[in-house]
Amino acid sequence: MTADRYNARDAEPRWQKIWRERGIFRARNDDPRPKFFVMEMFPYPSGRIHIGHGRNYVMGDVLARYKRMRGFNVLHPMGWDAFGLPAENAAIERGIHPKEWTYQNIASMKEQLQLLGLSLDWDREIATCDPSYYAEQQRIFLDFLEAGLAYRKESEVNWDPVDNTVLANEQVIDGRGWRSGAVVERRKLSQWFLRITGFAQELLDAIDGLERWPDRVRLMQRNWIGRSEGLEVLFELSKASAKAAGSETLKVYTTRPDTLFGASFLALSADHPLAQTLARDNAALANFIAECKKGGTSAEIIETQEKQGYDTGLTVVHPLDPTQTLPVYVANFVLMDYGTGAIFGCPAHDQRDLDFARKYHLPVVPVVLPPDTDPGSFAIGDEAYDGEGTLFNSRFLDGMSIPDAKEAVARQLERFRIAEEPQAVRRVNFRLRDWGISRQRYWGCPIPVIHCAACGPVPVPRDQLPVKLPDDVTFDRPGNPLDRATAWRDVPCPKCGAPAHRETDTMDTFVDSSWYFLRYASDNTERPLDKGAVAHWLPVDQYIGGIEHAILHLLYSRFFTRALKACGRVDVTEPFAGLFTQGMIVHETYKDQAGRWLFPEEVKLLGNGKAVKVDTGEDVVVGPPEKMSKSKRNVVPPEVVADTYGVDCARWFMLSDTPPERDSEWTQAGIEGAWRFVQRVWRLVTEAVELGAPADAPAPAAFGKEATALRRASHGLAATVADDVERLRFNVAVAHVHEFANAFGQAIAAARAGGTGDGLDFALREAADILARVVGPMVPHLAEECWGVLGHDGLAAEAAWPEADPALLKRDTITLPIQINGRKRDDIEVPLSATPAEVEAAVLALESIQRALDGRPPKRIIVVPQRIVNVVA
């Protein structure tokens, strides 16, 4: 009677071997079935993974396996985001070559990932550091160059003067280099850019169509692109000023032309050409500008920085009132790379301008009157007013709404001319900047360009691609090793043959990940980016990854796909039709009395929130759940889970309880609960096989009450879990399986007590069969083992999803809750076909209702068919 325990340690490697040998997860490009492309964001090969890394792969795997059972040709690939700084740090710190370090990590992480039993097509595995991958990336770069989508310009970098190296923003901590501790300077370097701004409007507009993306990601992208509509206004310099400045006009960008009559000054960025010109003969101004450029670009510094300005002595004429002039300042809060690098300040309606005006005693003239406010008493204190209102103090604009006033000013200024030019032009601006892809690093994709003194930057001829990274480099000195790799660097110019040198910048690793999903589509290494294959597989039906990539990676990928389309390389526009952002796995942290972090296996939990160290018994300080991280040691390696419980338990646990988009806590109790449930499924299936009908038994003509109830439950399970998985509501799917297991267990108990007549034997067998398939995507190894016990020859992984019989999903009676004054008081069972009048009559006949009404007639009865009845007493 008692079944053997399910032995995961035996079963899991066995089934994984069979899946691998039969190649059942290989996707074929010529498969005629409908396609389904599911992928998770590929990992950075940092070394070892912990169980927390597994969550998104498992979620994608459930969907992949489910879709296969539904008859789809599924592409579920995996690869490695293999370029990047940590490999170079390892080289510096431990003397290991980045390539060696990376490929070692890939090997061990692949082994760990395979342990999870994921249904991946490893034949399409890619590593971005592989020359076969980045060769195509270099071709793409040349395509972009030819199309004008890649270009070079001067741009500021963080420069570490001690290490003589360029730092990434995250390597600048409190304005200092992370390794050297030296104060970071801003330096200008000539760098490569991709023209993402050319697609800003389209990237923004297309967000509306991303219906299967989380709203918040769409919102974040919209904000990041940051479209604003405004006016570029020419301010005429006063005569004396024009002479001093060497120009007649100053161009200013504003989104609030309506507030022009409230303007009290102009402000230039420290980087503005006019500011630079004036500083040549003005030491005080030069000093001020240098002062502005000090300090990092970090948010905290900028936030707390006081508004400061330098009065240039220049004045401009107010565009709408020639009798009025405004002073021109250079100010530390004006950005050069947004708009025109110059603004007009309207202190009454902009907080920054107000702060500035108060400091330099400039006029504060309110021109927008809040609704229901007395114009005589309205005054600006310490807070600018940026709300709705009506224009006043503004001559011909008085009485207008803000939008009307904007329009009126625009029309007026468009008509005015200064030196043949209209005084104002409507201009749309974006917060989004072009994407600087140059990195002064070794471990990245080389930019395929040769610099020649005579010819300038010359693309490497395509027949000479790829430009491979030289292996023979050293990391013993600061700076980019490629600069010192003279044998690699120094080459003749492809155009004129004169001595020249290679571009030593490599590409931002975000470039690598901006097209890897297109690479997966091709099963042909000769054609890594295959238009036909891309047309077949793309867009990705379901992309799964962390919220940390909500903006950059996803926006860059959307841009890249469009840019490739513009170059004629692909026909797809939007790469990811469905996006899901999963939560992290968190775990409690443990510290001993000396404050050292402890691994979970060093700790014994006492159940009351307290814990002790396993070996010494000393008290352990238990911290709140945090993201699993090596440094805090709150990690659980997948091997340990696989050895003690089996990976199916880990998979089940990761899918249970917590909605997949939220953070989920890994606990001992949780994994044990999963283990119990895995055993329970095994027991239910084996017991049902023992009690039930044989595999090939025909369905009886009629079923008894028990059998019908069980059949309703199992067919209902197939339908509801299908729906749950389609909607990625794995925790709900798990709950539904639990619910079914309870019903199944009761049916088995009933069969033991009362026999398996009236078709119960068939129903038991059918229930086991359905259960094995329904849990298959979630606990695939267990499902295979069950499938074997059920006597099937093939693999559960290749079985079809159980089709629910619609007749069994329909009920002929329904239980309606009965409310009195909105509070539930009773239930009533009525035929599904009952009319509202019949229901009403039945309800009024209920004893509980009669009692509640106490002889009085009800005021009202609301019958919502098949939902509820509410009696208003």
Partner RNA sequence: GCGGACGUGGCGAAAUCGGUAGACGCACGAGACUUAAAAUCUUGCGCCGCAAGGCGUGCGGGUUCGAGUCCCGCCGUCCGCACCA
Scanning residues 255 to 274, which ones bind RNA (CB under 7 A)?
255-256, 269
Region 689-728 residues binding RNA, contact defined as CB under 7 A: 723
Distance CA 751, CA 692 (A): 9
User: Residues 538 to 567: which contact RNA by CB under 7 A?
Assistant: 547, 550-551
Six-digit token string for 105: 């990590």
3-state DSSP call for residue 84? coil
Considering only residues 677 through 696, tell me which ones interact with RNA, judged by CB under 7 A. Answer: 677, 679-680
Stretch that binds RNA, among 43-51, 215-223, 388-396, 692-700 (CB under 7 A): 215-223
Q: Exactly one of 486, 631, 815, 833 binds RNA (CB under 7 A); which one?
A: 815
Cβ at position 837, least distance to RNA in Å: 17
Q: Is the dihedral of CA 508, 84, 58, 517 positive or negative?
A: positive
- Integer CA distances (angstroms), 110 to 102, 167, 589, in order: 12, 31, 27
Name which position in 827, 835, 838, 850 contacts RNA (CB under 7 A).
827
Q: Is 824 in the site for RNA (CB under 7 A)?
A: yes
User: Does the protein bind RNA through residue 729 (CB under 7 A)?
Assistant: yes
174 binds RNA (CB under 7 A): no
Label the pairing between strands 265-268 and 321-331.
Answer: parallel
Q: Could you say whether residue 350 binds RNA (CB under 7 A)?
A: yes
820, 839, 845, 852, 866 from 858: Cα distances, Å? 10, 15, 12, 10, 21
Stretch that binds RNA, among 17-25, 131-139, 152-160, 673-681 (CB under 7 A): 673-681
639 within 8 A of 54, measured Cβ to Cβ? no
Identity of the residue, 74 or 852, whose beta carbon is nearer to RNA in the bound complex: 852
User: Distance between CA 445 and CA 461 in Å, rounded?
Assistant: 17
504 binds RNA (CB under 7 A): no
Binding segment for RNA among 196-204, 336-344, 445-453, 615-623 (CB under 7 A)? 336-344
Structure tokens, 336: 């050069």
Specify the length of the chain in residues: 873
The dihedral sign for the CA sequence 721, 723, 725, 728 = negative
- As a 3-state breakdown, the chain gives helix, strand, coil percent values, each rounded to 5, of 40, 20, 35
197 counts as binding RNA under rule CB under 7 A:
no
Q: Assess 738 for contact with RNA (CB under 7 A).
A: yes
The residue from 212, 359, 411, 431 that contacts RNA (CB under 7 A) is 431
Q: Among all chains, which residue has been given the structure tokens 């026999």? A: 755
- Which DSSP symbol is given to 295? S
Q: Under rule CB under 7 A, which residues in 752-811 are in contact with RNA?
A: none
Minimal distance, residue 540 CB to RNA, in Å: 23
Count of residues that interact with RNA, criterion CB under 7 A: 79
Among the listed residues 4, 21, 281, 303, the single contact to RNA using CB under 7 A: 303
Which residues between 392 and 411 bind RNA (CB under 7 A)?
A: none
* Cβ proximity to RNA, 704 vs 745, nearer residue: 745
Site for RNA in 283-302 (CB under 7 A): 299, 302
d(CA 107, CA 129): 14
Q: Closest CB to RNA among 486 and 608?
A: 608
Whole-angstrom distance, CA of residue 473 vs CA of residue 87: 14
Structural contact between residues 183 and 209, judged by C-beta atoms closer than 8 angstroms: no
Cβ proximity to RNA, 215 vs 854, nearer residue: 215
- Alpha-carbon gap, residue 759 to 768, rounded angstroms: 14
Instruction: Please tell me whether residue 212 binds RNA under the rule CB under 7 A.
Output: no
Which lies closer to RNA via its Cβ, residue 45 or residue 716? 716
Residue type, 250: L
Instruction: Report residue 265 as tokens.
Output: 């000054």
**What distance in Å separates the CA atoms of residue 137 and residue 510, rounded to the nearest whole number?**
12
Tell which one of 201, 247, 474, 742 touches RNA (CB under 7 A): 742
Positions 607 through 646 that interact with RNA (CB under 7 A): 607
CB of 376 to RNA, least distance (A): 26
**Cβ nearer to RNA, comparing 253 with 442:** 253
Select 29 or 679, whichever has its Cβ closest to RNA. Answer: 679
Does residue number 226 form part of the binding site for RNA (CB under 7 A)? yes
Whichever of 132 and 742 has its CB closer to RNA, that residue is 742
- Tokens 């002929």, located at residue: 812
Under the binding rule (CB under 7 A), the answer on residue 305 touching RNA is yes
CB of 480 to RNA, least distance (A): 27
Instruction: Give the whole-angstrom CA distance, residue 482 versus residue 473.
Output: 7
- Binder to RNA among 253, 435, 488, 517 (CB under 7 A)? 253
* Least gap, CB of 200 to RNA (angstroms): 12
Q: Is 4 exposed, middle or buried (0-12, 13-18, 19+ CB in 10 A)?
A: exposed
Interface stretch with RNA, choices 196-204, 237-245, 332-340, 474-482 (CB under 7 A):
332-340
Q: Is 18 in the site for RNA (CB under 7 A)?
A: no
Q: Are the C-beta atoms of residues 444 and 506 closer than 8 Å to each other?
A: yes
By the rule CB under 7 A, 735 interacts with RNA = yes
User: What gap in Å lies between CA 691 and CA 748, rounded to an integer?
Assistant: 8
By CB under 7 A, name the one of 822, 831, 836, 865 that touches RNA: 822
Contact between 343 and RNA per CB under 7 A: yes
Per the CB < 8 A criterion, the answer to whether 519 and 512 are in contact is no
Q: Is the peptide bond before 637 cis (omega within 30 degrees of 0)?
A: no
- The closest of 825, 823, 836 to 867, measured between CA atoms, is 836
Which residue, chain included where needed, has tokens 């399970």? 717
